[in-house]
Amino acid sequence: MSRSPSLPDRPTLDVDPESSPEEHFDALQDHYGEILDVHEQLQSQLEEVESRREELREEVDRLQRENETLKTASLYLATVEDLPEDGSAVIKQHGNNQEVLTELSPRLADELEVGDRVAINDSFSVQRVLDDETDARAQAMEVDESPTVEYDDIGGLDEQLREVREAVEDPLVNPEKFEKVGVEPPSGVLLHGPPGTGKTMLAKAVANQTDATFIKMAGSELVRKFIGEGSRLVRDLFELADQKEPAIIFIDEIDAVAAKRTDSKTSGDAEVQRTMMQLLSEMDGFDERGDVRIIAATNRFDMLDSAILRPGRFDRLIEVPNPTEEARERILEIHAGDMNVADDVAFADLARETEGFSGAQLASLATEAGMFAIRDDRDEVRREDFDAAYEKLVAEGEDDVGPNYPSYIR
């Protein structure tokens, strides 16, 4: 804490009794000037002290609020399971899944609905209702209201893009086409292939074209520790999509919850299977002509349970392989489109030399080439930069680049 400012010295008046009236008057004027200087100094110090007092008062208020917060007991999250007509509620606490019957205040009794998330204290009394923004499901879901990926940003996947557009875009944009022909659109689309081949970009591009909300969730996020949490999250996923329709649900790494069932009796495997059953149930009850479409992706197609692949769930299975030579050339042109590339760079030659590269690896190749040019303090990217980038990528992942890539996901 800063020290208080010292007071200025008090001016004194020393007048020679034998001085003339003029000298006496001049001395009085000088003394008056000194008094004015002291007054200004005191006024300045007073303003500083008042400002400091306000700062200390605000600090005291802040500390008092923090102290009150620290003394306040923490609340627990719970979900309303049932609402009997006697003004009580059956709630299930998150974490331990303990169900409790508790009395409600008249205000909360009129406000609560089954499925609401609430905050409860140690005695299980409902303190307040949590709104949608406080919902825990937002922690596991990535919601993009307007993806920026366009069809022109995707290279070498013309056939796959056409199939995805037929199954996802047309039912959302032109549902009358299916009504006139008298066929139901595919219930879901499953994209399978090696990592980095553009499965997520395909889904985002379709969401952008349809002005649909893009809701992405990793399959591993659906695997929960306690019984029932994964199933609840699956229900939340479809409820959120229904609230934000038109929407596209994209479940990445779906093999995490849809792997082939085994005879394992462990609680973890049983919970994963319960979550998969809930996912199958939601897909079976899906409004096929609604404004919500579902896309899933996996790079372990061989691990998927046959139940999730049957007609009515994922009707359209689309393989997204590593790009061909022609596709690699197109991908390099896309990712190097904004780069200052020298005349000695031929994308056709690079495409021939990058056999086995995925689209994501080709994007990394272009980025690394640009980094080598920056390292040499040049403003254009030469062929030697692409060669150095190629060697760097191959050295960093010999098992992930080229013909050494695992055969089960080719």
Is the Cβ–Cβ distance between 153 and 159 less than 8 Å? no
Tokens of 226: 């306690």
On whether 213 is known to bind a ligand per the annotation, the reply is no
Digits of tens for pLDDT over the chain (410 positions)? 455 567 777 777 777 777 787 877 877 888 888 888 888 888 888 888 899 999 999 999 988 888 877 777 788 888 888 888 888 899 988 877 788 899 888 888 888 888 888 898 888 888 888 875 445 555 556 666 667 888 888 888 888 888 988 888 888 888 888 888 888 887 788 999 888 888 888 888 888 888 788 888 887 777 765 566 777 778 878 888 887 788 888 888 888 888 787 666 665 667 777 778 888 877 776 555 467 888 888 988 888 888 888 877 888 898 988 888 888 889 888 888 888 888 888 888 888 888 888 888 898 999 999 999 999 898 889 899 899 999 988 887 654 555 443 333 33
Distance, CA of 251 to CA of 340 (rounded, Å): 37
Distance, CA of 29 to CA of 131 (rounded, Å): 73
Distance, CA of 195 to CA of 356 (rounded, Å): 12
Question: What is the per-residue pLDDT across 335-376, written as a single tens digit (0 to 9) for each?
Answer: 888 888 888 888 888 888 888 888 888 989 999 999 999 998
Contacts 24+ apart (CB under 8 A), 300-303: 300/255, 300/408, 300/409, 301/192, 301/409, 302/408, 303/255, 303/259, 303/260
Question: What is the per-residue pLDDT across 71-105, written as a single tens digit (0 to 9) for each?
Answer: 777 888 888 888 888 888 999 888 777 888 998 88
Domain boundaries, the chain: 1-72, 76-134, 140-319, 325-409
State phi, psi for 149 to the nearest 5 degrees. Answer: -70, 130
On whether 201 is known to bind a ligand per the annotation, the reply is yes
- The per-residue pLDDT of the chain, averaged, comes to 81
The C-alpha angle 184, 148, 342, rounded to 5 degrees, equals 125
Quick check: helix, strand or coil at residue 381?
A: strand
Residue 407: per-residue pLDDT: 34
For domain 325-409, which architecture applies?
A: Orthogonal Bundle (1.10)
Count CB atoms within 10 A of the CB of residue 184.
Answer: 13
On whether 335 is known to bind a ligand per the annotation, the reply is yes
Q: The whole model's pTM is what?
A: 0.62
Residues of 313-352 as b/e, b for ≥16 C-beta within 10 angstroms?
Answer: bbbbebebbbbeeebbbbbbebbbeebebeeebebeebbe
The number of residues in the chain equals 410
On whether 276 is known to bind a ligand per the annotation, the reply is no
On whether 230 is known to bind a ligand per the annotation, the reply is no
30 membership: H or E segment, kind and range: helix 21-71
User: What one-character DSSP code corresponds to residue 170?
Assistant: H
Residue 60: per-residue pLDDT: 92
Strand order in the sheet with 188-192: 142-144, 213-218, 247-252, 292-298, 188-192, 316-319
Contacts 24+ apart (CB under 8 A), 383-387: 383/342, 383/344, 383/345, 383/346, 386/345, 386/350
Is the Cβ–Cβ distance between 316 and 189 less than 8 Å? yes
Distance, CA of 83 to CA of 109 (rounded, Å): 8
For domain 140-319, which architecture applies?
A: 3-Layer(aba) Sandwich (3.40)
User: What one-character DSSP code corresponds to residue 5?
Assistant: P
Quick check: helix, strand or coil at residue 103?
A: strand
Count CB atoms within 10 A of the CB of residue 296.
Answer: 26
Is the Cβ–Cβ distance between 283 and 188 less than 8 Å? yes
CATH fold of 76-134 reads OB fold (Dihydrolipoamide Acetyltransferase, E2P) (2.40.50)
User: What one-character DSSP code corresponds to residue 354?
Assistant: T
On whether 196 is known to bind a ligand per the annotation, the reply is yes
On whether 210 is known to bind a ligand per the annotation, the reply is no
